[in-house]
Amino acid sequence: MKLRRRRERPSLPRTVTELVAEDGSRVYVVGTAHFSDDSKKDVVKTIREVQPDVVVVELCQYRVSMLKMDESTLLQEAKELSLEKLQQAVRQNGVMSGLMQMLLLKVSAHITEQLGMAPGGEFREAFKEASKVPFCKFHLGDRPIPVTFKRAIAALSFWQKVKLAWGLCFLSDPISKDDVERCKQKDLLEQMMAEMIGEFPDLHRTIVSERDVYLTYMLRQAARRLELPRSSDAEPRKCVPSVVVGVVGMGHVPGIEKNWTTDLNIQEIMTVPPPSISGRVSRLAVKAAFLGLLGYGLYWMGRRATSLVLSLPVTQYCLQRASTARPHK
């Protein structure tokens, strides 16, 4: 069936971009909106049409758990941002990067609450469909999220971090399903990207452009010629071009197309720069603020607890007995 599919011209959704490697391997990149039922259908249709050898998704090992969780669990997880999640993010990424990750999770939770839909449905569909294709491999194609957040934080000035955090904290605009589906149009997406570049160009470079390079590199690594099985050792080796399906956010598709034929070096975008002076100052300020709030909270709770205990009748009775039993000079 896979060989027959290779000889046919597949009928693909309009959100699919076809790329060809130097050895003839073909990569079908499905551009998706992360909160979209239509994107899930596009992924399923593409994988069934082309019967790929490899499926690559825009996930890293730190987000792979969403592939095996059901929609209801993910929906609940996205809505609940607990202190435990904050501590885990801080341990994993550092103070500033962890706080920024939680703020971005808040944005995701806001969209989740508005739409009643858990993110990453297209990746879960890709995982399910890949398991149904004979000999199909499933690859994680995104840069590890701690590297992305640390590089993003290092690229911003102190006041840019404050401005970004402020905007994310007070995000409350209503979002409709039509808004999400319009994100699948390249013209609207490019307009949104242009607005982001104008305000936070360094953030766009680390979160979007650098990941475009990484995703392109991983797709090209997956698009290698395959050796066909031999009936005996005497039979000569025969290789055929591979077929790959990539599932990425629509915002990454233009960058992948742009980088497809260029020489790529991912070593530079995998390094985490040392913290700047402003970064160290901001981390100390955050820690001081956190400790100050914690200390004030403990002090306030202590005062409340003391007042409550002293107001109890049994406490007043004991104090009265103690004062009357004290010897007089």
Q: What's the distance, CA 23 to chain centroid?
A: 32
Mean pLDDT on 304-312: 67
Are 52 and 243 a contacting pair, CB within 8 Å?
yes
In which band, very low, low, confident or very high, does the pLDDT at 187 lie, cut at 50, 70 and 90? very low
- Give the orientation angle of helix 145-155 with respect to helix 95-115, to 10 degrees: 110
Output the pTM of the full model.
0.73
Q: What pLDDT is attached to residue 158?
A: 73
Residue 81, classified by CB atoms within 10 Å of its CB into exposed (0-12), middle (13-18) or buried (19+), is middle
Residue pLDDT, tens place only, 110-122 = 566 666 667 788 9
pLDDT digit string, tens, across residues 215-225: 999 999 999 98
Q: Which pLDDT belongs to residue 274?
A: 73
What was the pLDDT predicted at 189?
47
The pLDDT of 51-71, averaged and rounded, is: 88
| Beta carbons of 146 and 62 less than 8 angstroms apart | yes
Task: Look up tokens 């991983």; give the residue.
Answer: 218
Angle at 62 between CA 261 and CA 45, to 5 degrees: 55
Tens-place pLDDT, residues 81-117:
555 665 666 666 665 566 666 666 666 665 666 666 6
